[in-house]
Amino acid sequence: MPGALGGGGGAVYDRGYRPYEGPRGRRGAATFALFKASVRRALGLRRSWRQKVAPFTLLAVVTMPAIVNIGVGYVTRDQLTDRIEIITYRDYVGVSSALLLFIAIVAPDVICPDRRQRVLPLMFSRPLVGIDYVAAKVGAIVAILFAFSFIPQMILFIGNMLVSDSALDYFTGHLDVLWKVPLSVLVLSVHYAVIGVAIASLTDRRIVAGASVIGLFLVTSIASGVLVGDFRPGEGSAAALINVLALPLYLRDVIFLGHIDRGSPLGGVATGGLFALVEFLAVVALGLVVLWRRYRWTEH
């Protein structure tokens, strides 16, 4: 507009609002979007390099036994009749317990900021609802834990195939591993993820949530150890079920062996496997109820 007020120049722009004409997702699309965002946040993707150190360092730590096992197998493949096996697939599921630190860091990081920054009312404006929010958050942690636990197992399996005398014979001779490992890892991932997310949902402070997660696992582990005391193989105690940290490992034994390992604190207890399964289902159900009530209230 030349000549306006003192001869200054100006321009008129048409910035009118236009309707969105792209695809419109429903609850499933919103839930999946939140799931992807939670995975990215947990892994530190699209964030500073400091946020990536913890998850990928822990992945390297839990992968190291597989690499060492393969290396030893390769070096000794022509020297020994029987291959040296540093770690078995069943034992390797137990190594995944090292991801407890990961749960204590990541679960609060993907849950607490939403409440602290007061963005939940915005999220729960339709189409996303409380159940969808819980599914996305728990699903993200389960997916990451499963990947971090399964990738080392896959490396171990492929490596053992390559250093064996016959890759095909090794593959056909270990077909049971192809379902036992994923099932055991899934049980462990669901157990830790539900507990971690449920505890983190009770506070908006990440340090409190992380300390609570570690405290729960350590306290129950110590209490169980005190009650079980010294035991001989096959003479375990039902008090071992108090140990929430080791609960998935008892189910791992059932999956791999068909029974609880006699050398474990629960070994020798009649129907110990059934007790462990019932407790696992009860813990997961309790965690999901806590989450449902927590976020159903927020939803309204």
pLDDT band at 101 (very low <50, low <70, confident <90, very high): confident
pLDDT top residue among 236 and 220: 220
Listing DSSP states for the chain in one string gives -TTBTTTB-------------S----HHHHHHHHHHHHHHHHHTTTS-THHHHHHHHHHHHHHHHHHHHHHHHHHTTTT-SSPP-SS-HHHHHHHGGGGHHHHHHHHHHHHHHHHHTT-HHHHTSTT--HHHHHHHHHHHHHHHHHHHHHHHHHHHHHHHHHHSS-HHHHHHHTTTHHHHHHHHHHHHHHHHHHHHHHHHTT-S-HHHHHHHHHHHHHHHHHHHHHHH-S--TT---GGGGG-TTTHHHHHHHHHHHSS--TTSTTTT-TTHHHHHHHHHHHHHHHHHHHHHHHHHHHH-
Residue 125: per-residue pLDDT: 73
- How does pLDDT run across 233-284, given as a tens digit for each residue? 878 888 999 999 999 999 999 999 999 998 888 988 888 899 999 999 999 9
Residue 78: per-residue pLDDT: 67
- How does pLDDT run across 40-55, given as a tens digit for each residue? 988 888 777 777 787 8
Average pLDDT on 57-66 reads: 85
Residue 3 has pLDDT above 60, yes or no: no
Residue 5 has pLDDT above 60, yes or no: no
Residue 207 has pLDDT above 80, yes or no: yes
What is d(CA 155, CA 148) in angstroms, rounded to the nearest whole number? Answer: 11
What is d(CA 71, CA 246) in angstroms, rounded to the nearest whole number? Answer: 29
The domain limits of the chain are 27-299
Q: Which of 5-9, 203-207, 288-292 has the lowest mean pLDDT?
A: 5-9
Residue 13 has pLDDT above 70, yes or no: no
What is d(CA 197, CA 191) in angstroms, rounded to the nearest whole number? Answer: 10
